Amino acid sequence: MSSPAPSSSRTTAPNQIAVWRTQGELFVANNLTYSVTVYDKGTGVLKRRIAGSNTQIDRPTGIAIDEVNAELYVANDFGDSITVYELTAERNAAPKRTLAGSATGLVGPVGVAVDPAHNELFVSNYRADDAGSITVYGRTASGNTAPIRTIQGSATGLDAPQGLGLDPLHGEIFVANSAYTTPDAGAILVFHRSDSGNVAPFRRIEGADTSLCNPVGLALNLARGEVIVANSNFGHGSCDESVTTYAIRDSGNAAPLRVLVGSEVSELANPTGVAICEECLCQHANPVVDRAGLCTVFEMGTGKVSMSNGDPTGDFGNLCMVGGSLSMSGGQLVKGDAYLGAKVQISISGTTAIRGEIFQPYDLTAEVNAAFDASSTKGALACDQNLADLKKAQTIYATKPGENVLCVNNVALNQVVTLNAGGYSGVSFVINVKGGFALTGGPGGQIRVQTPLEPKDVLINVLGTGTDVKFSGSGNASVVDGTILAPYRKIGIAPGGSTDRSCPPATSASRQGRSSSARRASSRCRIPHCAFAEALAACSRARASLSRHPRSGAPLGRFDVTIVLGPARIHLELPMPRSS
């Protein structure tokens, strides 16, 4: 019998939840009604329901969304199975795939996480051998398929594990260790993604100061570097039913950053699920690949941005600084606006200019969140082309329309790599770099695009921690057409490359404002946080009068690089020069 159409917003014993971010939908696993309900995350209105004999849903507990492959994963506690559906599935829809059987190792599966980058599926089993296990499968595994890895044994510390969270940037899996049979207990365990066997977690949050209380639900906010935990209590302890938040690198007996405790105000009662839904994520019919909000050069830590050496080098977009100091002396230029945090110290002298306006103090929270979110989201994409290293001049062609993901181990270039649409329409490139990234001079280490591609169609995503991202030049400038995100690394930009010495000196500007002539010459491209994609084309046109060679009239505005730096002690010596 088919299940009825949605008519009520009621949930019954809701367990874990997940958000389909791009569609603004909230998915809830309802344990007692053997169903998954889907709501508008803004209004809470029920949109559809998955339930019925064909669905194979059997006391669902865990739930996960894979936006890359448009799939919904459900962990069925009583069914000892994982069922997979289209994200738009409703009513009595049969699953696309079912993973079940004695060989799978699924025993009370309650947590599920998907890793699209490595095409793997992680499941927590709270009833396995009375302690629990984490089983790992190929993402598309079905039937009675054995796991490719299993974390299980006395050294693991597992005790009725439930919610899972995946940090794709650092290759880590977070586990809510519920300790179901022990009142006022529990821990957060962190394993390497590739761990297998009777291996101990390399980090754990546990102890009286943590306020953990039989944790069940877990979510990672990679944009803010936080772990959010739903503490259930299970009704048999004295600790608080609560939602606690920790720094993502916390370990030991760490006190939470924030605690939301059950009460009539919070309405928390035996919470079992938690999900992150970042607001202010720009959506557009033809968006840029990804950016850090309105910023072109973006310094996230307490570093130093210094523009010097006399030639008219500089930032050809908006300059954003959260902290640190800004020093400009002798022929430097910021063609857009400067958005500065309250603690940024400014020293401007000589024939320097900020053609736009200085906004201080300015809250760059949205830009910080956008940078981390963009890096983690794009870093999780499956590879379309695998390139060991980029070291030589070459042309890389798109292999399909739309987004093309290149996975690269290391970039060490002193020659030109060109990106070509390959005759396809609507092409964009995401280049995920796992190792080092360095562009050097000589002939000029460059990553450029060929028409019809534009810089907005390219994202270079330097993943995780590692060696510094380096730009330098001697002879020709190091140049990137596109956006660079490296939120966990330092970026150094050294003097290098020739600049057009015929360019006139920039008009001087003060912290308070600009001269009337400078004000008339510049175009104020005010870009709200959530309107960057929409405003990009208009802003580029408005800057056109400031982006042409003073003699030939050739456009200079094509070079558009976004640089997102790591979180602390970053020294940015000289923005990348560009030749005409």
Instruction: Calculate Rg over the CA atoms of the chain.
Output: 26
Backbone angles phi, psi at 533, to 5 degrees: -60, -45
Of these ranges, 11-20, 54-63, 252-261, the one predicted with the greatest mean pLDDT is: 54-63
The 10s digit of each residue's pLDDT in 10-24 is 444 568 889 887 788
Please give the full DSSP string across 304-368, using - where no structure is assigned.
EEEE-SSSS-EESS-EEESSSEEEEESS-EE-S-EEE-TT-EEEEESS-EESS-EE-S---HHHH
Residues contacting 97, CB < 8 A, separation 6+: 83, 84, 140, 141, 142
What's the rounded mean pLDDT across residues 80-93?
97
**What does each C-alpha distance from 427 to 184, 399, 456, 556 come to in angstroms?**
53, 9, 11, 23
The 10s digit of each residue's pLDDT in 291-322 is 444 444 444 443 334 343 333 334 445 566 66
What's the rounded mean pLDDT across residues 506-512?
24
Q: How far apart are CA 257 and CA 88, in angstroms?
A: 36
Burial 61-98 (b: 16+ CB within 10 A, else e): bbbbbbbbeebbbbbbbebbbbbbbebebbbbbebeeb
From the CB of residue 200, how many other CB atoms can be counted at a distance below 10 Å? 14
253-257, 521-525, 576-580, range with the lowest pLDDT: 521-525
Tell whether the model's pLDDT for residue 204 goes beyond 90: yes
Distance, first Cα to last Cα, the chain: 70
Contact 163, 216 (CB under 8 A): yes
Confidence at 363, pLDDT banded by 50, 70, 90: low
What's the rounded mean pLDDT across residues 253-267?
71
Note the pLDDT of residue 552: 40
Please give the order of strands across the beta sheet that includes 187-192. Answer: 161-167, 172-177, 187-192, 203-205
Domains along the chain with CATH numbers: 14-152 (2.120.10.30), 297-572 (no CATH)
Mean pLDDT score across all residues of the chain: 71
Note the pLDDT of residue 164: 96
Q: How far apart are CA 179 and CA 214, in angstroms?
A: 6
The residue among 498, 439, 433, 429 whose CA lies nearest residue 471 is 439
The 10s digit of each residue's pLDDT in 428-485 is 999 999 998 887 755 567 888 898 988 778 888 888 777 777 766 544 456 677 777 7
Contact 214, 233 (CB under 8 A): yes
Confidence at 571, pLDDT banded by 50, 70, 90: very low
What's the rounded mean pLDDT across residues 377-388?
89
The number of CA neighbours under 13 Å toward the Cβ of 513 is 5
Confidence at 102, pLDDT banded by 50, 70, 90: very high
3-state secondary structure 169-213: CCCEEEEEECCCCCCCCCEEEEEECCCCECCCCCEEECCHHHCCC
